[in-house]
């Protein structure tokens, strides 16, 4: 537990000097509560009181467990970027296991229940960088006035990209994103759609010149009454990087997917801009890995942590509690037992020994 206290000590505390509760201790209680299923500040306070005996084994708690109003007030004022960076230090050794060619998926997720009419009704979103193989959030940044693109650029600046492959949807297929990834030594596989109409047109033209024996890769999956076949092809984009002022553009990828379910057949074609010339098999694997951010992160946040139902709305509160949910998911995933994530979270709340085992699995620094 000392690793969390040490990391949280580095978070700037904007409260008055006479604040009663130690910030690092308050954050530990809140994080452990979220790890055990708490979804609001009221539940954090209730959980803390129920588990106060356990917390006193490693926290001083000079003024007992904070009230729900105190949790709420703190989360409204602390910096969510500093909170996420503190967790990044806790999980740095795990993030260090990233290897060459690992996929880092970039995507945003709307915090649906956080819209505050008093704040102009703006939609809040967290943009995350997700290590697909490790199933680990590397960094998260809340969107501000610049929107998802600006937040994604900030996220990219926070993580080591050398030797890694960054994947993202068509919003991020632009020169600024490409330049940011290039500058940090990463490769990229970016979805290509009509927002880059000229580039997409040239990509389609390149595929129109394929030889009959051009290399392709096919992948077929069946399950849940559905059969899906994906066919991947990669072609060189020689000369088009300069023509489109798209630095390090090396190739285009195409994946044609056919889904058959209940006698109905659906087909679609997806296009990708690539900074290297992978084999079709590697393209399939890279694109498939990108979907981990949807299936293993965003879906779990809604199903296991009820993020879409969360009603934190004021100031930095929604962003900070969203950070806690993402990092609680990271910690729960370190457990190697075969139980579902939902069961692990419930078990952590029921079984003190299991809870402590989750917290102790992280390396002390």
**If we measure between CA atoms, which residue out of 96, 94, 87, 97 comes closest to residue 6?**
87
Beta strands in the chain (DSSP E): 103-110, 125-131, 136-142, 165-168, 187-192, 216-223, 226-236, 251-261, 264-274
* pLDDT tens-place values along the chain, 365 residues long: 788 999 999 999 999 888 999 999 999 999 999 999 999 999 999 999 999 999 999 999 999 999 999 999 999 999 999 999 999 999 998 999 999 999 999 999 998 766 665 555 667 899 999 999 999 999 999 998 668 999 999 999 999 999 999 999 999 999 999 999 999 999 999 999 999 999 999 999 999 989 889 999 999 988 877 899 999 999 999 999 999 999 999 999 999 999 998 888 999 999 999 999 999 999 999 999 999 999 999 999 999 999 988 777 788 999 999 999 999 999 999 998 888 999 999 999 999 999 999 988 876 54
Return the axis-axis angle of helices 41-50 and 23-35, rounded to nearest 10°: 90
Tell me which residue of 182, 180, 124 sits closest to 153, measured CA to CA.
180
Q: 92 CB contacts (<8 Å, ≥6 apart)?
A: none
Single out the residue of 149, 160, 75 nearest to residue 107, CA to CA. Answer: 149
The answer to whether the CB of 157 falls within 8 A of the CB of 176 is no
Tell me the C-alpha distance between 119 and 117, whole Å.
5
Rounded Cα distance, 253 and 188, in Å: 12
Structure tokens at 103: 């996929």
Sheet with 136-142, strands from edge to edge, namely: 136-142, 125-131, 103-110, 165-168, 187-192, 264-274, 251-261, 226-236, 216-223
The three-state secondary structure class of 270 is strand
First to last CA, the chain: 11
> Residues 79, 317: contact at Cβ < 8 Å?
no
* Residue of 40, 25, 21, 58 whose CA lies nearest to 352: 58
Give the closest residue to 28 by CA, choosing from 47, 53, 1: 1
Q: How far apart are CA 271 and CA 121, in angstroms?
A: 35
Helices (H) and strands (E) in the chain, counts: 17, 9
Nearest to 71 by CA among 15, 126, 114, 110: 15
Q: Where are the domains of the chain?
A: 2-78+334-360, 93-299
Cβ proximity of 325 and 308 under 8 Å: no
Q: ∠ CA(152), CA(181), CA(161), 5° rounding?
A: 95
Single pTM value for the model: 0.92
Q: Is the dihedral of CA 232, 102, 84, 301 positive or negative?
A: positive
How far is residue 349 from each of residues 35, 64, 65, 193, 321, measured CA to CA in Å? 8, 20, 17, 45, 18
Residue indicated by tokens 């600024």:
176
């Amino acid at each position: 537990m000392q690793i969390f206290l040490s990391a949280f000590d580095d978070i700037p505390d904007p409260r008055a000097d006479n604040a009663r509760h130690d910030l690092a201790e308050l954050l530990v209680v809140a994080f452990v509560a979220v790890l055990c299923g708490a979804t609001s500040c009221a539940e954090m306070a209730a959980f803390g009181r129920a588990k106060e005996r356990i917390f006193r084994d490693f926290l001083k708690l000079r003024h007992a467990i904070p009230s729900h109003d105190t949790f709420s007030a703190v989360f409204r004022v602390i910096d969510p970027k500093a909170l996420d960076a503190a967790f990044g230090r806790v999980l740095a050794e795990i993030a260090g296991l990233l290897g060459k060619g690992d996929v880092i998926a970039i995507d945003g997720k709307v915090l649906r229940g956080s819209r505050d009419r008093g704040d102009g009704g703006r939609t809040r979103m967290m943009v995350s960088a997700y290590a697909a193989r490790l199933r680990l959030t590397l960094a998260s940044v809340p969107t501000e006035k610049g929107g998802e693109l600006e937040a994604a650029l900030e996220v990219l600046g926070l993580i080591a990209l050398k030797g890694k492959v960054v994947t993202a949807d068509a919003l991020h297929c632009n020169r600024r994103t490409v330049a940011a990834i290039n500058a940090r030594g990463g490769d990229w596989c970016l979805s290509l759609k009509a927002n880059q109409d000229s580039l997409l047109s040239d990509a389609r033209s390149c595929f129109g010149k394929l030889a009959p024996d051009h290399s392709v890769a096919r992948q077929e999956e069946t399950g849940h009454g559905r059969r899906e076949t994906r066919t991947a092809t990669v072609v060189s984009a020689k000369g088009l990087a300069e023509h489109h002022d798209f630095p390090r553009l090396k190739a285009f990828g195409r994946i044609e997917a056919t889904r058959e379910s209940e006698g109905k057949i659906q087909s679609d074609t997806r296009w990708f801009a690539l900074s290297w010339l992978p084999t079709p098999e590697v393209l399939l694997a890279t694109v498939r890995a990108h979907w981990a951010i949807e299936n293993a992160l965003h879906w779990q946040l809604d199903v296991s942590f009820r993020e879409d139902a969360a009603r934190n709305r004021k100031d930095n509160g929604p962003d900070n509690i969203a950070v806690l949910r993402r990092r609680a998911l990271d910690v729960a995933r370190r457990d190697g037992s075969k139980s579902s994530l939902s069961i692990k979270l419930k078990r952590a709340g029921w079984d003190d020994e299991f809870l402590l085992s989750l917290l102790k699995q992280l390396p002390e620094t």
